[in-house]
Structure 1
Amino acid sequence: MSSPMTASPEIEIAGRRIGADHPPYVICELSGNHNGSLERCLSMVDAAADTGCDAIKIQTYTADTITLDVDRPEFKINGGLWDGRSLYELYQEAQTPFEWHAAIFERARKRGVTIFSSPFDETAVDLLAGLDAPAYKIASFEAVDLPLIRYAAAKGKPLIISTGMANLAEIETARNTALEAGAAGVLLLHCVSSYPATFADANVRTVADMAARFGCPIGLSDHTPGTAASVAAVSVGAAAIEKHFTLARADGGPDSAFSLEPAEFKALVDDTKNAWAALGRAHYDVLGSEQANLQYRRSLYVTADVPAGAILSRDNVRSVRPGIGLPPADLDKVLGRPAARALTRGEPLAWDMVGE
């Protein structure tokens, strides 16, 4: 893919380097699962911090900044998790009020966790800039809103852009627009904009393809159940994982059905980082951790007492564990030759025990 500006394979958010050569950057998305309670939202921040996530993300909009309160068919949701609801009604329920933001940011910072948000219009960008947000996240549905991307990018922070529903040309345009407008790097998230997404639709191999095409770090915004897709994405190079979070799915909430509970999210953090560590590099030599076990590999041993001069055969020599004797590859060189001395069952075979 061509670009008017060169994308970097790494970005930095609040001092944390993000790229394929670093452990995955795990983003805990609180979304609207606060259920309209600031106290619950702050409890979610605390619970998220306890999981070991790298960042907490919220969403910054009001129903009036994201849609219109009109009674027309196209403003009604057909099918899926929110079937029959109006966009305005859904976003009224799910919004995180602007007046909560300072308290939420303060709590996250007190807990030592990076926090940023998805702005959905310019007023949201300005609010977040006033809170010194270290990055901005552009949601999949807004990835085609180039004026919003330009406005957020002009703040000079990194931009994270989800790519659900976007084709290659739209992704390239969004990335280039962000870089041209002054973003301090771009992180693209492969995303399937269905809620919940199925494993069959996850297509996490797209992560590796995007990395080859776009030259910037690539992650996964994961709406599938559980943690499997996220771990799989790390195995193909995902530099970041974003996943929705709730205190308890049983409590309900707009996004609770595809959100992880605290213990599950901690498992996500641990599993994705362990998966990254396990990737390592192509390696064929003996590792330091294997060195002590070399002695237990197979080797040639005397398996029955052998008088001096008797012929060595499969009846009295074979390969067994441990590995003190001759290599098993030497078996054919040994068979049919005489014992140089009397041999005792259980002795490791050596060349000075084999006659000519």
Structure 2
Amino acid sequence: MSDKAKLQIKIGDRFIGDEHPPFVIAELSGNHNGDIARALRILDEAHRAGAHAVKLQTYTADTMTIDCDRPEFMIEGGLWGGRQLYELYQEAATPWEWHQPLFERARELGILIFSTPFDETAVDFLETLEVPAYKIASFELVDLPLIRRVARAGKPMIMSTGMANETEIGEAVDAAKSAGCEDLVLLHCISGYPTPFEDSNVATVAELRNRFGCLVGLSDHSLGTAVSVAAVSLGACVVEKHFTLARSDGGVDSAFSLEPPELEALVTDTAIAHKAIGQPGYSRKSSEEKNIQFRRSIFVVKDIAKGEKLTGDNIRCIRPGHGLAPKHLDDVLGKVAVQDISRGTPLQWDQFEQG
């Protein structure tokens, strides 16, 4: 196993890496629908479903963009087509005054909580809450000054790579490391909302790891959980999915968010996928031992008298596996029995001439 394969980091009290089940993050985003009671319920349900962390987004409409009606500030097509950026962010933002009660609830429950800052003021604010880690969103991966500011906080960093090319990812990694980041996870991400399965390209998970030498995961905007499970089989040690109480409740991100039973299945299935990967090898497992007896072998299928030849009519390769291995069939055909052999007897070397 290479050094890269042994990497691990720690967020809060939880280790993340190859030797540990995937770290599942439930993304709150704008699914609170403007109601702190709903935000708290989402946190409760994420904990109940077994998620290891809840992630917030820390911004205001004014720290994200400006209130402007020019065409450049209008969204064309997709889930949010026709909306103005400023208005969308006003609706989706998690008010900063909610952060403290959300952090307190998470700590009471024992689930990790951290956030994505979208400007330096958000980093300063989150530092007062003693966040255990930071997330850089795909759209901010090109904001190298922000990445360097986050890195200087000295916390583990998770960076999504949606829309970024190899050069841009490399620049972001260099910015983080040069500013002091020692614990870094890159999340393969397709910034489509939702992401078509055929666009998910989870083979990139292994490529990211090999190219940048750090832990990798998936920020998954596809529907359901199958893509996340596939990514774990390719080395993802972190999985992030948007989460809501019910998609039918609406909300800016509800269309591609998991509901509680799906999040529970994600936690379970990614853990199973991780356990199932194991190590390459061909040794027989203990769970197989008792079934060896049911493999095929050579049996006498018609009574054979002493002096009679073994033929395709009186011996066959059948189950169970108590006789000679089927690979010896051509060697024994035509040999002469040295004893009477009754039907149903597993064929053995001492039952026929060896010449």
**Counterpart code for 1:173:** E
Q: Deviations over 1:251-276 (max 9, x none)?
A: 00000001011111111112222112
Write the distance in 2 (CA, Å) between the matches of 1:279 and 1:104: 36
In the alignment, which residue of structure 1 is the partner of 2:97? 99
Q: Does 1:89 pair with 2:66?
A: no
Q: Does 1:229 pair with 2:227?
A: yes
Write the distance in 2 (CA, Å) between the matches of 1:230 and 1:116: 21
Secondary structure of the structure 2 residue equivalent to 1:238: coil
Report deviation, 1:70: 2.0
Report deviation, 1:80: 0.8
Structure 2 counterparts to residues 246-285 of structure 1, below 5 A = 246-285=244-283
In the alignment, which residue of structure 2 is the partner of 1:3? none
In the alignment, which residue of structure 2 is the partner of 1:49? 47
**Counterpart code for 1:288:** S
Q: Deviations over 1:305-346 (max 9, x none)?
A: 112222211111111111111111222222212222111111
The more displaced of 128-137 and 18-27 is: 18-27
In the alignment, which residue of structure 1 is the partner of 2:32? 34
Write the distance in 1 (CA, Å) between the matches of 2:19 and 2:150: 27
**Counterpart code for 1:185:** D
**Counterpart code for 2:350:** D
Write the distance in 1 (CA, Å) between the matches of 2:170 and 2:178: 12
Q: Deviations over 1:272-324 (max 9, x none)?
A: 22112211121112111111111111111111111222221111111111111
Relative to the length of structure 2, the TM-score reads: 0.95
In the alignment, which residue of structure 1 is the partner of 2:144? 146
Provide the aligned length of Structure 1 versus Structure 2: 350
Report deviation, 1:92: 0.9
User: Which runs of no fewer than 5 residues in structure 1 stay unpaired?
Assistant: 1-5
Write the distance in 2 (CA, Å) between the matches of 1:337 and 1:213: 61
Percent identity for Structure 1 against Structure 2: 59
Structure 2 counterparts to residues 167-316 of structure 1, below 5 A = 167-316=165-314
Relative to the length of structure 1, the TM-score reads: 0.94
After TM superposition, what 4+ stretches of structure 1 lie above 4 angstroms from structure 2?
A: none
Write the distance in 2 (CA, Å) between the matches of 1:227 and 1:14: 26
Q: Does 1:159 pair with 2:157?
A: yes
1:11 and 1:184 in contact (8 A); partners too: no
Write the distance in 2 (CA, Å) between the matches of 1:345 and 1:214: 65
Q: Deviations over 1:215-261 (max 9, x none)?
A: 11111111111112212211222121111001000000000001011
The CA RMSD measured in Å over matched residues stands at: 1.6
Secondary structure of the structure 1 residue equivalent to 2:290: helix
Secondary structure of the structure 1 residue equivalent to 2:310: coil
Report deviation, 1:135: 0.3
